[in-house]
Amino acid sequence: MAYLTLKNINKIYPNGFHAVHDFNLEIEKGEFIVFVGSSGCGKSTTLRMIAGLEDISNGDFLINGKRANELGPREREVAMVFQSYALYPQMTVYDNIAFGLTLQGVDEDVIEEKVKNTARILGLTDYLDRLPRALSGGQRQRVAIGRAIIRKVGIFLMDEPLSNLDAKQRVTMRSEIAQIHRETGATTIYVTHDQTEAMTLADRIVCMKDGYIQQVGTPKQLYFEPANVFVAGFIGEPPMNFARAVLKGGKISVGGVEFDLTKLGKDLKKYEGKEIVFGFRPEHAKLGKVANAYEVPTTVELTEMLGDNTNVYINIGEVPAILKIDPHDTPEVDSKITFSIPYENVYLFDGETELVIK
Ligand code: ADP
């Protein structure tokens, strides 16, 4: 039996807005689940329904197989970390972390041991006497996490916990969150709009759009086997390149460049005369010619040297695309190049439903 079960969960706000539609998910104990999607897709609403901070309009939320819809936040044994750290400014780090236990009237000695242990996990041992204002953003967020993990709760919920940090702190804190999860083994549900956070942290990702789950899977599954155009475009940076064209005689023409799709070994008969979405990832394109690949002649519009790679902006006919290549091979702007897209790296989607064609 799954630890947490969300069965046909819906949220309809009092103003009638239907924010979450038929959300179905089973979560195992100890899993790190990430809800990812653009702003407004229903991630926080779903998290808040799990936390007990928002009513569930329809559907069942089960903890260990028992209906928990009506339980209050405390009875659900959840701890939540928000974007804003919400620390008490006049209390030391020690007292901030200890606060929940102090309220519960836990023994001082027990509190001290737990605070010290939590501080050790979070690298805050040397800061216990400080006030929050004497800490960096990353350290404050660690205190907020400490306050949440010190209570041995079953479910650890995080809503965009890194969004107030600068880029460098975000990367550090991201790996720390992964480390904390390894150490505590707490079941974690983490909300972010950032696909990199989702890819690096998650055991499984739940990718959402407009209140609907688009796909649930491991980071690898979402990257290599996206279910539809949305997921394919959301996961990966820069995003997957797409071109739409009508299939004629097994071929499509993208702005005059022809792609013979019969080379891909897929059964495309039912798509004859219909629109197909052709996709490939920037990092799968190769400069020059390689075996078993489409060759595309083009002109370099712009290059961005990023250190570990270069993004090359080109057009396929009229359709803009990006190639991610080795920086040593960065071509001149305006130069004519040919690049190859290996057949095995091509994705096709139904132009109407936008679902992947297997
Ligand atoms: P996300 O976390 O993915 O950014 P939210 O779950 O916060 O998205 O919001 C999902 C949708 O529900 C948004 O369109 C938002 O405007 C709407 N929404 C959120 N809270 C309320 C509310 N209290 N009343 C009505 N609509 C709301």
Nearest C-alpha neighbor of 3 from the set 191, 154, 159, 185: 154
pLDDT at 200 over 80: yes
* C-alpha of residue 77 to centroid of ligand 1, in Å: 24
The 3-class secondary structure across the chain, one letter per residue, is CCCEEEEEEEEECCCCCEEEEEEEEEECCCCEEEEECCCCCCHHHHHHHHHCCCCCCEEEEEECCEECCCCCCCCCCEEEECCCCCCCCCCCHHHHHHHHHHHCCCCHHHHHHHHHHHHHHHCCHHHCCCCHHHCCHHHHHHHHHHHHHCCCCCEEEEECCCCCCCHHHHHHHHHHHHHHHHHHCCEEEEEECCHHHHHHHCCEEEEEECCEEEEEECHHHHHHCCCEHHHHHHCCCCCCEEEEEECECCEEEECCEEEEHHHHCCCCHHHCCCEEEEEECHHHCEECCCCCEEEEEEECCEEEECCCCEEEEEEECCEEEEEEECHHHCCCCCCEEEEEEEHHHCEEEECCCCEECC
Q: Are residues 35 and 165 in the same domain?
A: yes
Which of 10, 11, 13 maximizes ligand 1 atoms within 8 Å of its Cβ, making it the mutation to test the pocket? 13
Q: What average pLDDT does this structure show over 43-50? A: 97
The total number of structural domains in the chain stands at 2
**Hey, which of 38, 45, 159, 209 would you mutate to test ligand 1's pocket, going by the most ligand atoms within 8 Å of its Cβ?**
45
| Ligand 1 atom having least distance to the Cα of 11 | 12
CA dist 7 and 184 (Å) reads 27
Binning pLDDT at 50, 70 and 90, where does residue 352 land?
A: very high
Write the pLDDT tens digit of every residue in 221-257: 999 999 999 999 999 999 999 999 999 999 999 988 9
Domain end residue (candidates: 182, 200, 234): 234
222 and 293, same domain (yes or no): no
Does 1 or 208 have the greater pLDDT score?
208
pLDDT at 272: 97
pLDDT exceeds 80 at position 65: yes
Residue 358: inside a domain: no
In a domain, 356, yes or no: no
More confident residue, 208 or 105: 208
Are 228 and 265 members of one domain? no
Same domain, 216 and 262: no
CATH number at residue 194: 3.40.50.300
Whether 355 maps to a domain, the answer reads no
Q: Calculate how far, in angstroms, residue 59's C-alpha sits from the geometric centre of ligand 1.
A: 18
**225 lies in some domain:** yes
What is the whole-number distance in angstroms between the Cα of residue 299 and the centre of ligand 1? 43
Confidence of residue 173 (pLDDT cuts 50, 70, 90): confident
Determine the residue of 11, 17, 49 to mutate for testing ligand 1's pocket, defined as the one with the most ligand atoms within 8 A of the Cβ atom: 17
Exposure of 292 in the CB half-sphere (CA atoms within 13 A): 7
Domain that holds residue 144: 4-234
**Pair 102, 219 in one domain:** yes
Across the chain, which distance is largest between two alpha carbons, in Å?
Answer: 78
Mean pLDDT of all residues in 62-69 = 96
Per-residue pLDDT at 165 exceeds 80: no
pLDDT reported for residue 153: 78
Instruction: Tell me the whole-structure pTM to 2 decimals.
Output: 0.92
- Distance of CA 42 from the midpoint of ligand 1 (Å): 6
Read off the pLDDT of each residue in 54-77 and give the average, rounded to a whole number: 94
- Residue with the smallest CA separation from ligand 1 atom 12 is 19
Q: Specify the ligand 1 atom closest to the Cα of 191.
A: 2
- Please give the pLDDT value at position 129: 96
Is position 294 within any domain? yes
Residue 320 is part of a domain; what is its CATH number? Answer: 2.40.50.140
Is residue 62 within 8 Å of 155, Cβ to Cβ? Answer: no
Shared domain check, 229 and 255: no
Of the pLDDT bands very low, low, confident and very high (cuts 50, 70, 90), residue 166 is: confident
Please give the backbone phi and psi of residue 264, each rounded to the nearest 5 degrees, phi first.
Answer: -90, -5
Q: Is residue 163 part of a domain?
A: yes
357 is a domain residue: no
Atom of ligand 1 nearest to the CA of 208: 3
Output the ligand 1 site: residues, CB below 6 A. Answer: 13, 15, 17, 19, 37, 39-45
Question: What phi and psi, each to the nearest 5 degrees, are found at residue 283?
Answer: -80, -10
Residues 172, 37 share a domain: yes
Closest ligand 1 atom to the C-alpha of 41? 3
pLDDT for position 208 = 98
Show which of 234, 252, 287 is a domain's final residue: 234
Q: 16 CA distance to ligand 1 centroid (A)?
A: 12
Tell me which residue has its CA closest to atom 5 in ligand 1: 42
Whether 13 and 151 share a structural domain? yes
Same-domain status, 297 and 154: no
Note whether 65 and 81 are same-domain residues: yes
Structure tokens at 301: 């519009």
Q: Are residues 187 and 299 in the same domain?
A: no
Question: In this structure, are 198 and 256 located in the same domain?
Answer: no
Q: For atom 14 of ligand 1, which residue has the closest CA? A: 40
- Last-in-domain residue among 184, 215, 234: 234
